Amino acid sequence: MGREMLSLNLSFSRIVDGPLDAMPGEARQAFKAVAALPPLRYTPPDPDTEPACRPREGLPREDLLAQPLLHNPILDAHPAPARATPDEEKEMLRWAAHGITRVRHVLHNTAPRILTLAELAASHPALVRTPRERLRTGRTYATVRANLDRWKDTLAAPPSTHVLTRQFS
Helix (H) or strand (E) holding 86: helix 86-97
What pLDDT was estimated at residue 167?
Answer: 44
Exposed/middle/buried for 95, CB within 10 Å: 0-12, 13-18, 19+?
A: buried
- High-pLDDT (> 90) share of the chain, %: 63
**In DSSP terms, which residues pair with 114 in a beta bridge?**
107
Model-level pTM? 0.85
Taking CA atoms, 143 is separated from 20, 71, 94, 117, 159, in Å, by 34, 10, 16, 11, 25
**In DSSP terms, which residues pair with 107 in a beta bridge?**
114
pLDDT in tens, 28-82: 898 899 999 999 999 999 989 988 888 888 889 999 999 999 999 999 999 999 9
pLDDT in tens, 88-110: 999 999 999 999 999 999 999 88
pLDDT in tens, 115-137: 999 999 999 999 999 999 999 99
Helix, strand, coil proportions of the chain in percent (round to 5)? 50, 0, 50
Instruction: Pick the closest to residue 148 from 91, 70, 93 (CA basis).
Output: 70
What pLDDT was estimated at residue 2?
Answer: 67
Query: To the nearest whole number, what is the mean pLDDT of the chain?
Result: 89
Per-residue confidence band for 160, with pLDDT thresholds at 50, 70 and 90: low
Supply angle C-alpha 157, 104, 121, rounded to 5. 115
- High-pLDDT (> 70) share of the chain, %: 93
What pLDDT was estimated at residue 166?
Answer: 43
What pLDDT was estimated at residue 18?
Answer: 84
Does 111 score more than 60 pLDDT?
yes
